[in-house]
Amino acid sequence: MKTPRDPDLELRGQLIRSLSFLREMLPGSFVERQRACGQPTCHCADGKRLHRQYQISLLLDGKSQTLNIPAKWVDKVREKIEMRQRFEAAAATICRVNLKRFLQEKLHEKKKKLQEKEDRQI
């Protein structure tokens, strides 16, 4: 006979199995800026047609850092940062499932002890 499936356990297992693709994830936030390069003869000097600049903003060793990203890497880097965001969402869901199960088990143990205490008093 099959045991009834616990949807929380199924969700947790599915999330854990899906984490293997995250080995390429990157920390930080993806930032796209527009700025003038500073050359007086450049098209950006008028302040209207600015250059795009791509960066990752993150904490390294507790200090805020900004890393420039070459334009040809933008899609790849953006995807790797989104991987980390999906990882954090999955980890939060797994923690909620584990906490819910822990609290249910704790409550079950408490009820079990109360029942045992009542049975001894009878």
Overall average pLDDT of the 107-121 stretch: 84
Amino acid identity, position 89: A
Question: What DSSP string runs through 76-114?
Answer: HHHHHHHHHHHHHHHHHHHHHHHHHHHHHHHHHHHHHHH
23-51 pLDDT, tens digit per residue, is 788 999 999 999 998 899 999 888 889 99
Q: What is the pLDDT of residue 72?
A: 96
Confidence of residue 4 (pLDDT cuts 50, 70, 90): low
Question: pLDDT at residue 112 above 80?
Answer: yes
Task: Provide the number of structural domains found in the chain.
Answer: 1
User: Between these two residues, 74 and 17, which has the higher pLDDT value?
Assistant: 74
Domain contains 1: no
78-111 pLDDT, tens digit per residue, is 999 998 998 889 889 989 999 999 999 999 998 8
β pairing state of 63-69 and 29-35: unpaired
Domain contains 55: yes
Question: pLDDT at residue 8 above 50?
Answer: yes
Confidence of residue 1 (pLDDT cuts 50, 70, 90): very low
Domain contains 94: yes
**61 lies in which domain range?**
7-121
Domain contains 80: yes
Domain contains 2: no
Domain contains 32: yes
